[in-house]
């Protein structure tokens, strides 16, 4: 490894490791406020949709919104969980159960 | 601003409970229960947040960087996955109720006795 | 009691309840002003004590491991409950679904869906495995990784290959793998007891580099077992629900 490559790598390492929290706190606050209001609206939409199949789609979008809110709360692990469960696994389970129930009614 | 997340939590809880009480379909009630549970995730993550702090992962940042509370994140993380399995159990019961009584309306299910 | 009366009664009750709830919540220290010592203490000492850079997973599987055993068993019990209720429902039908219903795709599946699903099965399974094995380094962990891994199997079903889905996840194998995962977690704790430590004590070598895949002792091992248990639980649940829908389609054709 030549000295120039070593210097470049050391500079990159310093930039990656030593970079502090660079987002202005006011911006992060604004993002959190917007996301909180969107989540409240999303919850209202999900609870007030009466048809279960449409409510499942609304739940999927609500899960996505909730995941982004958790990311703004500095919780990436919970984001991953909520994304996979709320936007993927729960709608699958709900749609399968609704298919089972709906075919019976025919 | 410092109490907005708690107001949102109360709102989500209220809206979810309203959906459960005025529901005419068991699966609609189950989805409103999911909404009510999600309000608790927002609550505990809001309690553990530190202004100006990063996520508690020290893979590429120095160990003494101020970070948010990891304990509430651990609680919320397992909660989310376990909620899905419990919802599946509730759905299985709903399917069973539908097979047994032919309807998924909670008002009619209460009256079918004997 | 008419629905309108019920609605007004509920609104009255919820107004009172939320008044007390908000009164209690507004006496907390406020959003962003976290006072408590535990978060700061764990952030400071976790990397040094366990060689795991993912502090949330360290809390989940090490500092709070006993509670996580309980939560994992909630999941296991729920999956078992689903299997019990739906299998009994299935056996009550005459004989079970006809084989003719198995090879078909869910109605309305276009070629685009089938192709996209099949293309993504491999990457999603790999990503789920990556998540389950990197609990101690990144924002990953057994719980998320297990659900993503189960999603890969569900994609096989969505691609219209129910036979393939049943072949790669036969019910007995899925049950056994789930049980191995749940028992494995408890067994790791018991192994610590057998060696003379407390239950779920971290007795494996901690590794030298914090945040490597092989570091942090039992955390990585526990995450692996949790991953396969969660994946098996979700595959079991989805498999049972899918067989229910096939049952409906078969009896719809027979009647």
Q: What is the pLDDT of residue C217?
A: 78
Checking if the pLDDT of C100 tops 50, the result is no
Checking if the pLDDT of C182 tops 50, the result is yes
Checking if the pLDDT of A105 tops 80, the result is no
Chain A residues with beta carbon closer than 8 angstroms to that of C140:
77, 80
Rounded CA-CA distance C146/C154 in Å is: 13
B82 to chain A, any CB pair closer than 8 A? The answer is: no
> Hey, what are C194's tokens?
């057998």
Query: Mean pLDDT throughout A31-40?
Result: 95
Of A56, C64, C55, A90, the C-alpha closest to B86 is A90
Q: How far is B8 from chain C (nearest CA, A)?
A: 10
pLDDT tens-digit map of C123-154: 999 999 999 888 888 888 889 999 999 999 88
Answer whether A103 sits within 8 Å of C131, measured CB to CB: no
Query: Mean pLDDT throughout A59-65?
Result: 95
Comparing A88-102, B27-41, C8-22, C152-166, the range with the smallest average pLDDT is C152-166
Comparison of pLDDT for C1 and C39, the residue scoring more: C39
C131 to chain A, any CB pair closer than 8 A? The answer is: yes
The per-residue pLDDT of chain A, averaged, comes to: 85
In the 8-state DSSP scheme, what is residue C59? I
Rounded CA-CA distance C234/B84 in Å is: 9
In chain B, the residue whose alpha carbon lies closest to the alpha carbon of A106 is: B102
Nearest to B34 among A59, A74, A81 (CB): A59
A65 to chain B, any CB pair closer than 8 A? The answer is: no
Partner residues linked to C243 by β-bridges: none
Checking if the pLDDT of C211 tops 80, the result is no
B21 to chain A, any CB pair closer than 8 A? The answer is: no
Query: Mean pLDDT throughout C191-198?
Result: 82
What's the pTM value of the predicted model, to 2 decimals? 0.87
Checking if the pLDDT of A39 tops 60, the result is yes
Q: What is the pLDDT of residue C255?
A: 47
Comparison of pLDDT for A54 and C47, the residue scoring more: A54
Nearest to B6 among C22, C81, C211 (CB): C22
Nearest to C241 among A77, A81, A96 (CB): A96
Query: Mean pLDDT throughout C31-44?
Result: 85
CB atoms inside a 10 Å sphere around CB A34: 12
Checking if the pLDDT of B8 tops 90, the result is yes
Helices and strands per DSSP (H, E), number in chain B: 4, 0
Q: How far is B88 from chain A (nearest CA, A)?
A: 7
Answer whether B38 sits within 8 Å of A81, measured CB to CB: no
Checking if the pLDDT of B58 tops 90, the result is no
Q: How far is B109 from chain A (nearest CA, A)?
A: 15
Of B42, B30, B50, B52, the C-alpha closest to B5 is B42
Q: What is the pLDDT of residue C226?
A: 92
Comparison of pLDDT for A73 and A20, the residue scoring more: A73
Chain B residues with beta carbon closer than 8 angstroms to that of C57:
74
Of A14, C129, A17, the C-alpha closest to B64 is A17
Rounded CA-CA distance A66/A83 in Å is: 8
Query: Mean pLDDT throughout C195-208?
Result: 76
A4 to chain C, any CB pair closer than 8 A? The answer is: no
Checking if the pLDDT of C94 tops 50, the result is no
Comparison of pLDDT for B92 and B112, the residue scoring more: B92
Comparison of pLDDT for B111 and B65, the residue scoring more: B65
Q: What is the pLDDT of residue A1?
A: 63
Give the confidence band of C191 by pLDDT, cuts at 50, 70, 90. Answer: confident
Q: What does the DSSP assignment read for B27-81? A: HHHHHHHHHHHHHHHHHHHHHT-BTT-B-SB-SSS-TTS-B--HHHHHHHHHHHH
Percent of chain B clearing pLDDT 70 (strictly above): 96
User: Strand, helix or coil at C203?
Assistant: coil
Answer whether B12 sits within 8 Å of A40, measured CB to CB: yes
Chain B residues with beta carbon closer than 8 angstroms to that of C147:
81, 84
> Hey, what are B40's tokens?
């608790």
Chain A residues with beta carbon closer than 8 angstroms to that of B25:
50, 52
Query: Mean pLDDT throughout A66-89?
Result: 92
Indicate which of A99, A101, A105, A106 best probes the interface with C, i.e. most C CBs within 10 Å of its own CB: A99
Comparing C75-79, C116-120, C212-216, C227-231, the range with the smallest average pLDDT is C212-216
CB atoms inside a 10 Å sphere around CB C140: 27
> Hey, what are C197's tokens?
């430590």
CA-based R_g, chain C, Å: 23
Q: What is the pLDDT of residue C135?
A: 84
Answer whether B11 sits within 8 Å of A40, measured CB to CB: yes
pLDDT tens-digit map of B22-48: 998 999 999 999 999 999 999 999 999
Distance of CA A51 to the CA centre of its chain: 24
Residue whose token pair is 């919850």: A43
Residue whose token pair is 């679904």: C97
Domain boundaries, chain C: 52-254
Rounded CA-CA distance A42/A58 in Å is: 8
Answer whether C47 sits within 8 Å of B18, measured CB to CB: no
What domains lie within chain B, and their CATH numbers? 4-111 (1.10.287.3510)
In chain C, the residue whose alpha carbon lies closest to the alpha carbon of B75 is: C60
């Amino acid at each position: 490894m030549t000295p120039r490559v070593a210097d470049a790598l050391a500079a990159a390492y310093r930039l990656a490791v030593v970079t502090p929290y660079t987002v202005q706190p006011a911006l992060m606050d604004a993002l959190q406020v917007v996301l909180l209001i969107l989540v409240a609206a999303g919850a209202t939409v999900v609870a007030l949709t009466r048809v279960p199949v449409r409510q499942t789609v609304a739940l999927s979008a609500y899960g996505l919104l909730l995941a982004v809110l958790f990311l703004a709360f500095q919780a990436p692990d919970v984001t991953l969980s909520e994304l996979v469960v709320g936007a993927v696994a729960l709608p699958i389970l709900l749609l399968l159960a609704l298919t089972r129930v709906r075919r019976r009614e025919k | 601003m410092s109490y907005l997340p708690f107001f949102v939590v109360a709102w989500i809880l209220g809206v979810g409970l309203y959906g459960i009480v005025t529901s005419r379909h068991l699966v609609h009630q189950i989805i409103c229960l999911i909404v009510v549970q999600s309000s608790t995730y927002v609550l505990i993550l809001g309690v553990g947040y530190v202004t100006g702090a990063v996520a508690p992962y020290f893979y590429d940042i120095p160990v003494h960087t101020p970070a948010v509370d990891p304990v509430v994140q651990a609680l919320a993380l397992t909660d989310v996955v376990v909620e899905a399995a419990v919802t599946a159990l509730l759905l299985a019961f709903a399917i069973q109720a539908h097979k047994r009584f032919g309807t998924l309306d909670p008002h009619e299910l209460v009256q079918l006795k004997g | 009691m008419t629905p309108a009366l019920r609605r007004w009664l509920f609104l009255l009750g919820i107004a009172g309840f939320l008044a007390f709830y908000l009164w209690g919540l507004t006496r907390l220290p406020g959003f962003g002003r976290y006072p408590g010592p535990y978060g700061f203490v764990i952030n400071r000492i976790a990397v040094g004590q366990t060689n795991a850079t993912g502090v949330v997973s360290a809390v989940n599987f090490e500092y709070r491991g006993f509670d996580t055993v309980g939560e994992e068993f909630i999941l296991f019990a729920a999956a078992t409950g689903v299997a019990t209720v739906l299998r009994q429902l299935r056996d009550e039908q005459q004989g079970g679904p006809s084989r003719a219903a198995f090879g078909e795709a869910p109605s309305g599946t276009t070629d685009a869906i089938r192709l996209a699903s099949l293309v993504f099965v491999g990457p999603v399974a790999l990503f789920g495995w990556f998540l389950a094995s990197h609990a101690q380094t990144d924002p990953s962990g057994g719980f998320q990784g297990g659900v993503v891994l189960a999603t890969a199997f569900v994609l096989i079903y969505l691609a219209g290959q129910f036979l393939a889905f049943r072949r790669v996840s036969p019910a007995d194998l899925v049950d056994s793998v789930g049980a191995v995962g749940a028992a494995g977690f408890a067994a790791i704790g018991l192994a610590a007891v057998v060696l003379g430590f407390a239950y779920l004590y971290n007795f494996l070598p901690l590794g030298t580099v914090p945040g490597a895949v092989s570091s942090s002792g039992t955390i990585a091992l526990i995450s692996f077992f949790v991953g396969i248990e969660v994946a098996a639980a979700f595959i079991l649940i989805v498999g049972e629900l899918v067989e229910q829908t096939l049952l409906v389609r078969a009896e719809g054709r027979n009647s």
